[in-house]
A and B are shown apart, each in its own frame.
Chain A
Amino acid sequence: MEPQRERAAPLALVVDDDRLIRMVVREALEQSGLEVCEADSGAQALELFATARPDIVVLDVIMPGLDGFATCAKLRGSVGGGRVPILIMTGLDDAESIAHAYEQGATDFITKPLNPMILSYRVRYMLRGSHTLDALIKSEARLGLAQRIAKIGNWEWRPDTNQFTASAELCRLMGIRSQDFAGTFDAFIQLVHAEDRDRVNEALKRILSERVPCDIDHRLVLPNGADFTVNLQAEAVFDHQLKALSVVGTAQDISERKQSEQEIHRLAYFDSLTGLPNRVLFKDRLTQALLHARRYRTTLATLFLDLDRFKVINDTLGHNVGDLLLKSVADRLAESVRHSDSVSRSVEKEENYSFARLGGDEFTVLLTNLREVHDAGKVARRIVEAMAKPFSIEGNEIFVTVSVGIAIFPVDGDSVDALLKNADSAMYHAKEEGRNNFQFYSNTLNAAANERLILEGELRHAVDREEFVVFYQPQIDLRTGGIIGAEALVRWQHPQRGLLHPADFLLAAMDTGLIRAIDEWVLRTACRHNQTWQQRGKMPVCISVNVSNSLFHGNTLLSVVAEALSQTGLTPACLELELTESIAMRNVDASIVMLTTLKAMGVLLSIDDFGTGYSSLSYLQRLPINSVKIDQSFIQDILTQARPAPIVRAIIAMAHSLDLLVLAEGVEQEAQRTLLLEQGCDQAQGYLFGRPMPADAFAALLPLVHLRKAG
């Protein structure tokens, strides 16, 4: 039976064997607005308590049968008797009874002889207390229920004692039993995810220092290691002097909300079929990329892809196969862009590409920080080639091609919409051009791309047919003025375009990887020429050959050098290998090993373009080189500007202190020669002494040292 809580007046049970006392108590309480029921013994009181459910019990101590103490104890143990206020009536001189009464669960006592007024005040006071306690318990129960439903735990932190009280619900959220929680601030912080700990700590301490309420999301870690997100809100409760007494707060489990937010984000920004970003996210990324490109004056490309005749596949093989094909296309697209050299090499850390599916069979690719426009064409070509391989979908071998349009920022547009629109129209152009190809929006770029494609093809043939020639530019000893050697320089004898300088084909050679083959060919040819000249009785000279990054850091250089020397019989000291600082510095330890090995073979080594790149003197000291070559930019300005002369002087002094010879490149005027001589420079090269020239012309400059044996 539920206690009868909703009665008009509170009900008092008066228990006394003396009728007169019961009469007085009844009269006093009724006047206070209570209803009264009476029992003349403990046994009757227990019976009546169970049926009438009084709100308060006024109980005499000494009664025949069950006395007041026993009755009190039994009431406390009975249903609904745990919290009912019990007032014990006892004699004034009876301190022992009073103590005993409290032990048996009495709420309060009143002494006999009774003062009716005091009795009624006390009873009303006790009822108020009991009512407040009931309301509090109910309120706490409601709060606890509300917190459990809302997954909110509350807590209080006393900064002065570091005590941290966590509610039952918070403990439940944190996955620990209340009694296992240490109850300190540190114990709480330990349950916060390690990555969030500093942030939470700081936010909570700022409540005290700056009186800013805290409202942050952070993770809590459960004993099993899993984590979940809570929203932590807290503020300080100040005393009258505005000194913080405590910080009270709540922690609400919002992991479901977070998950929903992520799900909503995924639905809003990603294509559910392929998992690629959708149009919205792509435009957002393009907007960001444009801001960046404008600020840093970089180039970016928007590629617009459309599968050729996708509708036919959808109509004949069904939508299911069509969907699977789109997924495979997305995978292949991502793979081909990611593995594109030009994309991965220019920026090391941040991704500089992004894809999206705009809808249907349309895809887009964003390429940022392009080194040159041509790189966008290379990526496009790679995509076209990748798609051309057959797809195997549910037992069907499907051939699908793609048409790609490219719009470049800033030349083809400087807004998201303009770039997308122009890339789209370039894609239509690709369709008109017979599909399965890519087109730039700008015709100039199309022409350039086309030209580059042709050049690369021709270069491949040139390597096969050895269409290259080696030119030599003399190097002289500044003190004697005598010729001491030459730098070997490659030229391409193009069948239609005539003699081409490296500037015309170097980028293409690097992109195609043909540079290494060309370098090797030059090295072998230079050794052969040099040996031939010596055999003809010419004065032995040293020929410098440039070593590209690809050759130096590849694994063929040593064998190529050894082979060239052994095949020609050339003295190793007549071959010098030149490499730039940046090549040597790329992997210093490997470079030192390589250079040391070459030096052991007797080959001379020099650093080219010295002073233009990143220099580290400590590394330079460790490199087993013979000479440095001062870049021609310093020499050109040596007479006109104040600065280069001291720099050149410093380079010379530094090189000499490391026992290195110094060669000045690009010497064109007599005054430069004089100045360099004054500064102690050892050698020079430049138009003043001779332009790059064919082998025979150079050989003619070399003096004969002795006549060949007659006969």
Chain B
Amino acid sequence: MRPCVIPVVLERHALDAIRSLQRNGRPDFLARLIDQYVASSTEHAVPIRRAMASEDASALWQAAHALISSSGMMGASMFAELCHELEALGRAATFVRVPDVLSQLEASYSERVRGSRRRSGQRTLIWNLKENERRRWL
């Protein structure tokens, strides 16, 4: 199985807010959160696909919703927005557009943009889920 890669844009203001919670002499809080975010988003990607395949509306919105709060917290607005859309579709039990939205999620994965660049005052981090790569970007 190819590595599950989710391209995420973490907005700077969210990361700044998280960094403000860093206390001296304590483990890197942002790093811990990112670990947690990676773990949970990986964890929830599987149920989303499974719910779509079995057209389980309730499982779909709950899995999609579970990613919204943490994505928002991490400043992954666009990702959060897509999850929100999936949640709405799940709640409405309309599966017609689900593959379309899911493909957008997948598409962001396929872009695989690496590196860091400055764009309109926004620091964008893109990383894949491999541990060694992630460390490089941080």
Measured CB to CB, the residues of A under 8 A from B are 16-21, 23-24, 27-28, 31, 60, 62, 64, 91, 112-117
Contact = CB atoms under 8 A, between A and B. Distances in A.
23 contacts: A17-B66, A18-B69, A19-B40, A20-B37, A20-B40, A20-B69, A20-B73, A20-B74, A21-B69, A23-B36, A24-B18, A27-B29, A28-B21, A64-B62, A112-B72, A112-B73, A113-B14, A113-B72, A113-B75, A114-B73, A116-B17, A116-B20, A117-B20
B136 interface: no
B19 to A, nearest CB: 10
Contacts of A116: 17-18, 20-21
B32 interface: yes
B42 interface: no
A24 B33 contact: yes
A20 B40 CA distance: 9
B23 A62 contact: no
A-B CB proximity, top 3 nearest: A113-B72, A20-B70, A27-B21
Nearest to A20: B70
Contacts of B73: 20-21, 24, 112-114
Contacts of B75: 113
A31 B65 CA distance: 28
A21 B37 CA distance: 10
A115 B29 contact: no
Nearest to B87: A62
Contacts of B68: 91, 112
B32 A18 contact: no
Contact of A113 (B40, B62, B69): B69
A19 B36 CA distance: 8
B31 to A, nearest CB: 12
Interface size class of B (residues with CB under 8 A): 20 to 34
Interface of B is mostly: helix
Interface string B22-52: 0100000100110011001000000000000
B66 A18 contact: yes
A35 to B, nearest CB: 15
Given A18-B70, A112-B72, 7 more contacts: A17-B66, A18-B40, A21-B73, A23-B36, A31-B21, A113-B69, A117-B17
Contacts, number: 53
Interface of B: 14, 17-18, 20-21, 23, 29, 32-33, 36-37, 40, 62, 65-66, 68-70, 72-75, 80
Contacts of B37: 20
Contact of B17 (A16, A62, A115): A115
B6 to A, nearest CB: 15
Contacts of A31: 21, 23
A17 B65 CA distance: 11
Nearest to A60: B69
Contacts of A23: 32-33, 36
Contacts of A16: 69
Contacts of A60: 69
Contact of A24 (B21, B40, B62, B65): B21
Nearest to B80: A113
Nearest to B32: A23
Most-contacted residue by chain A among B32, B69, B80 (CB, 10 A): B69
A23 B39 CA distance: 14
Nearest to B71: A113
Contacts of B23: 31
Contact of B65 (A21, A28, A62): A62
Contacts of B29: 27
A20 B36 contact: yes
A69 to B, nearest CB: 16
Nearest to B41: A20
A59 to B, nearest CB: 13
Nearest to B37: A20
B58 to A, nearest CB: 10
Nearest to A27: B21
Contacts of A112: 68-69, 72-73
Contacts of B33: 20, 23-24
Contacts of A27: 21, 29
A27 B74 CA distance: 15
Contacts of B74: 20
